[in-house]
Amino acid sequence: MFTMMHLAKSRFSFTIFLIYLFLIVATITMLLPYYWMLITSVKPQGEIQTYPPKFYVQHPTLQPYRDLLNLVPMGRYILNSLYICVTVVLFKVFACTLAGYVFAKHRFWGRDWIFMTFLASLMIPWQVNIIPGFIIVKNLGWINTFSGLIIPTMGWCAFGIFLSRQYIYSIPNDLIDAARIDGCNEWQIYLNVILPLVKPVIATLAIFTFIQEWNNLVWPLVIVNSSAMKTVPLALAVLSSQTSSNFGMLMAGAVMATTPILIVFLMFQRYIIKGVALTGLKG
Amino acid sequence: MAQRKFWEELKRQQVSYWFILAPFFLFFVFVVIPTVASIFLSFTKYNVINPPHWVGFGNYKDIILHDFRFRKAMLNTIIYIIGVVPIGVILAVILAVAIDQKIRCKNFFKGVLFLPIVTSIVASSVMWRWLFAGEKYGLINYYIVMKLGFKPIDWLMSPVWTLPAIMIMSVWAGIGYNVILFIAGLQTIPQTVYEAAEVDGAGFWHKFWHITIPLLRPTVVFVVIMSCISSFQVFEQIYVMTGGGGSHIGGVLDCALTSVPYIFDEGFNKFNMGYASALAYILFLFVLVLTFINNKFVQSKVEY
């Protein structure tokens, strides 16, 4: 069969050449900011503000990282962020798949109404909730605590529930009934039948929740004002507002903030891109 | 009797309720209650220290009739949307079609374009703050502006150039998401349509204009509206690139103040929480309208 591709190869190789050229220019544009960040973060002070700007380092140094770590406890912030991410991910994976199972396979009074309420919340932008959310957290005494950073975030589980519910809905009822006849209770069905079958959902949920939480600026910005409780994005934003000259140090901070998430991305690239294409989720 | 049956049924069902209890409780306390409370707050004056003071529609009236900063913020938001959405969509369509051809390294190109989506906007903004550095030290100033024969621009300090700089960064940061959606959309176009066109002797560009673009329209509509919604709510890049907050949010003379940063400024810098809630609800209305348009368009089926 004669496909578009064969034609393209034989008759329009010039078009293919243009396409490669275009994509390579695009790639350079996309990667240049990262390269510039990385290269600036290992330049000695004297090489950073030079004229013309140089794309290479003459005397690489880790001084910007030392400056950064002397000024702010970046290690502590990375641990804070990791702690928040891991807790929220574990909770969401567990709670969303369990609730998704219930909404997909159980019949109970009020089910559709409760599910619709969850769905409707997907339309609510964060700026509508954030002020009362802040007041609630303040009254609970959770300002500057992990509770304040973690627990309200767990409430935003509508999308995860929706995703799990859609997936679990397609699992045949026979499987569940067979387990019931074998004497499994609901909890055992969830553990032994549902969980092993929803691994793709678990992966998608876990990865996206991790990325979202790692990059979340707004909630920590509102909830945290002590130095010890900052998360990585918050620390970087504050650092940026205080930096007007030491760009090496600022770029070192940006490198430290992006590296963990880039590792996650490189590990799960296919999963992430497929997840976006299928669900419209945004990282 | 009926009542007793109801209780028995409920008892049998109770495991379902236990299973959704935790997420529902948190959802109720931290999503539902704040959403409703926000409506109440929007009719009050509230500064966290004193109890809320009822003012009826006062906040809404002030916003619509007297608030010049709100108008400036809305104007900037519209400029931002008009700049970011079309460029982001057109570039993404071209990139998606390019990647969809028979070429090598597809996943590499996809991955590279997607990189900024997983990078936090804060880190991206910080990178671009440095790319947009003023005078002749900034990369963009030296290699683009000055090579084109202009004087170096003090991008993030100038009332004219702050918003365009943030818009450029936003296109860069968001394009990968659109590209992935368009590539998914391209997969839905049946290969047979292309083959039929080839039999009729259609070339690459002919097929692009007369098959790909018309058949990709549903995806285009979806992406345009999604981009409008997310551009409407742009916050982090404005917050970081205009100096990182304090009273400076929005840059020199509010030149880059858009709607959500304005809400944040009113709510958390000036502690006009009632007023900020009213602002948030007005914005929510705009987003809802966009969402409904989206549902209407996306649900309409396309026949090949």
Taking only the tens place, the pLDDT of each residue in B120-145 is: 999 999 999 989 887 777 888 888 88
B123/A236 CB distance under 8 A: yes
- Which residues of chain B are within 8 Å of residue A261 when distances are taken between CB atoms? 118-120
Examine the domain organization and report whether B34 and B84 are in the same domain.
Answer: no
B35 min Cα distance to partner chain A (Å) = 5
Q: Of B127, B157, B206, which to mutate for an interface test with A (greatest number of A Cβ within 10 Å)?
A: B127
Mutate one of A56, A123, A128, A208 to test the B interface: name it (highest B CB count within 10 A).
A128
What pTM does this model have? 0.88
Residue A29 forms part of a structural domain? no
CA angle, residues A141, A143, A145, in degrees to nearest 5: 95
The answer to whether B33 and A124 are in contact (CB under 8 A) is no
d(CA B266, CA A68): 32
CA–CA distance, A118 with B82 (Å, rounded to integer):
32
Domain count, chain A: 1
Q: Is A271 on the interface with B (CB under 8 A)?
A: no
Is pLDDT larger for residue B44 or for residue B1? B44
pLDDT-derived band at A282 (thresholds 50, 70, 90) equals low
Confidence (pLDDT) at B303:
45
* B234–chain A nearest CA distance, Å: 11
Range of the domain at B139: 68-299
How high is the pLDDT of residue A12?
58
Residue B202, in any domain of the structure:
yes
User: The domain containing residue A175 runs over which residues?
Assistant: 68-279
A3/B194 CB distance under 8 A: yes
The verdict on B136 and B33 lying in the same domain is no
Roughly what angle, to the nearest 10 degrees, separates helices B273-299 and B33-41?
Answer: 120
**Residue A59: inside a domain, yes or no?**
no
Query: In angstroms, rounded to a whole number, what is the distance separating the alpha carbons of residues B240 and B138?
Result: 18
**CB-CB contact of B237 with B170 (8 Å):** yes
Q: Which ipTM was obtained for this model?
A: 0.87
Per the domain annotation, does B53 fall within a domain?
no
pLDDT, chain B, mean: 87
Shared-domain flag, residues B171 and B224: yes
* Beta-carbon separation of B27 and A135 below 8 A: no
Q: Are residues B144 and B247 in the same domain?
A: yes
Answer whether residue A183 is part of any domain.
yes
Q: Could you tell me if residue B54 is inside a domain?
A: no
For position B173, what pLDDT does the model report? 94
pLDDT tens by residue, B5-14: 777 777 778 8
Contact A150, A113 (CB under 8 A): no
Among A residues 223-252, those touching chain B with beta carbons less than 8 Å apart: 232-233, 236-238, 240-242, 247, 250-251
* pLDDT over 70 (residue A283): no
pLDDT for B175: 94
pLDDT higher than threshold 90 for residue A142: yes
Rounded CA separation B76/B257 (Å): 7
Tell me, yes or no, whether B23 and B74 share the same domain. no
Q: Are residues B24 and B87 in the same domain?
A: no
Residue B27 lies in a domain: yes
Averaged pLDDT score across all residues of chain A: 88
pLDDT at residue B304, as a whole number: 45
The answer to whether position A55 is within a domain reads no
User: Whole-angstrom Cα distance, residue A27 to residue A23?
Assistant: 6
Phi, psi torsion values for B266, nearest 5 degrees: -65, -45
Q: Please indicate, yes or no, whether residues B182 and B271 belong to a single structural domain of this protein.
A: yes
Residues β-bridged to residue B45: B53
Contact A121/B130, CB-based, under 8 Å?
no
CATH number for the domain that contains residue A227? 1.10.3720.10
Parallel/antiparallel/unpaired status of strands B44-45 and B53-54: antiparallel
Query: In chain A, how many H helices and how many E strands?
Result: 16, 0
* DSSP bridge partners of B54: B44
Q: What is the pLDDT of residue A149?
A: 94
Sign of torsion over alpha carbons B283, B287, B292, B296? positive
- Say whether B137 and A121 touch across the interface (CB within 8 A): no
Judge if B16 and B89 occupy the same domain: no
Q: Is residue B191 domain-shared with residue B248, that is, in the same domain?
A: yes
Q: Which CATH number is B153's domain given? A: 1.10.3720.10
Q: Is residue A160 part of a domain?
A: yes
- Which pLDDT value is given to residue A103? 94
In a domain, A195, yes or no: yes
- DSSP 8-state secondary structure symbol assigned to residue A122: G
* Same domain membership, residue B142 and residue B72: yes
CA-to-CA separations, B24 to A43, A119, B152, in angstroms, rounded: 51, 12, 55
Q: Are residues B173 and B215 in the same domain?
A: yes
- Region A16-44: mean pLDDT is 92
pLDDT band at B291 (very low <50, low <70, confident <90, very high): confident
Q: Is residue B46 part of a domain?
A: no
Cross-chain Cβ contact B137/A4 below 8 Å? no
pLDDT digits (tens, 9 = 90+) for A182-236: 988 889 999 999 999 999 899 889 988 999 999 999 999 999 989 899 999 999 9
pLDDT reported for residue A11:
53
Q: Comparing C-alpha atoms, which of B258, B124, B49, B175 is closest to residue A233?
A: B124
> CA-CA distance, A241 to B44, in Å (whole number)?
33
Average pLDDT over residues B207-229: 88
Cβ separation of B118 and A265 shorter than 8 Å?
Answer: yes
Task: Answer yes or no: do A128 and B280 touch at CB < 8 A.
Answer: yes
- Structural domain includes residue B51: no
For range B233-237, the mean pLDDT: 91
> Would you state the pLDDT for residue B194?
86
Which of A246, A227, A97 lies closest to A163 in space, CA to CA? A97
The residue assigned the tokens 């345009």 is: B224
CB atoms within 10 A of CB A49: 16
A128 closest CB neighbour out of B38, B183, B194: B38
Number of domains in chain B: 2
pLDDT of the residue at A138? 92
Facing residue for A237 by CB, picked from B35, B230, B239? B239
Same domain, B25 and B163: no
How confident is the model over B42-50, as a mean pLDDT? 89
Q: In this complex, is the C-beta atom of A258 within 8 Å of any C-beta atom belonging to chain B?
A: yes
Residues of B in contact with A29 (CB under 8 A): 172
CB contact under 8 A, B130 and A19: no
